[in-house]
Structures are given as structure tokens and as C-alpha cells.
Amino acid sequence: MKKYTSFKEFYPYYLKEHKHPHTKLFHFIGTIFSIVFLTLLIITLNPLHLLAALLSGYGSAWFSHFFIEKNKPATFSYPLYSLIGDYKMFFETLIGKHRLF
């Protein structure tokens, strides 16, 4: 894998790793749940919501990479860029730039 030194350079690679529509769907759903749990964390200060946010976001994404896309999640090599990429792809999907089906 190429060594990426900026998010701008990394993001096209990130999108290429999400070719299958169901992979994007699993990411989208997991990101919705992570946002809900992060919101609950802010409201309640219950640290279990942070754990739930991580499990829902990463769990659904990793499942989709291992079993649908059949590739290695970018999170393993680029954790911060991958997290930013997930939220960027999520918001771009909301505005119609990416299709889930």
C-alpha cells in the first residue's frame, strides 16, 4: 500500500476501497449509530455510549470489509484518515454524491 501523507491524497484510495454498494450501506448505518451514541455520550456522560459508538461504527464497517468487500479495512493502516473518510463519505452520501444502491 502506498504511503499517504495527507487526507486529500488518501481519500480517493478510501473511496476505491468501498466499491460495493452494501459496504457503503453498512458504513452509513454504522455511522448513524455512532453519531447517536456520541450524542448520548455528550448528554449523559456515560462512557458506555463511547464503547457503543466505537462498536457500532467500526463493527459494521469491518464486517462489510471482511465479508462483502473482501479487503482489509483502511483503519488498520490509517486510523485517523479512515475515521475522517468515513464521516466525509457519510455526509457526501447524505447530499447525494454517493449512492447506497
Please check whether residue 70 lies inside any domain of the structure: yes
Total tally of structural domains belonging to the chain: 1
Neighbour tally for 4: CB within 10 Å: 17
Give the range of the structural domain holding residue 64, as residue numbers without chain letter: 27-94
Q: Which pTM was predicted? A: 0.89
User: What was the pLDDT predicted at 2?
Assistant: 83
Is residue 1, in this structure, part of any structural domain at all? no
Report, as an integer, the average pLDDT of 84-101.
93
Q: Is residue 11 part of a domain?
A: no
Q: Which residues, including other chains, have CB under 8 Å from residue 34's CB and lie 6 or more apart?
A: 53, 54, 56, 57
User: Is 7 part of a structural domain of the chain?
Assistant: no
55 located within any domain: yes
pLDDT of 25 reads: 95
Which has the higher per-residue pLDDT, 16 or 99? 16
Closest CA to 32 of 101, 92, 90, 99: 90
Summarize pLDDT for 40-90 with one digit per residue, the tens: 999 999 999 999 999 999 999 999 999 999 999 999 999 999 999 999 999
Q: What's residue 101's pLDDT?
A: 76
Q: Per-residue confidence at 1, pLDDT binned at 50, 70, 90?
A: low
Coil vs helix vs strand at 23: helix
* Domain annotation covers residue 46: yes
The answer as to whether 85 is a domain residue is yes
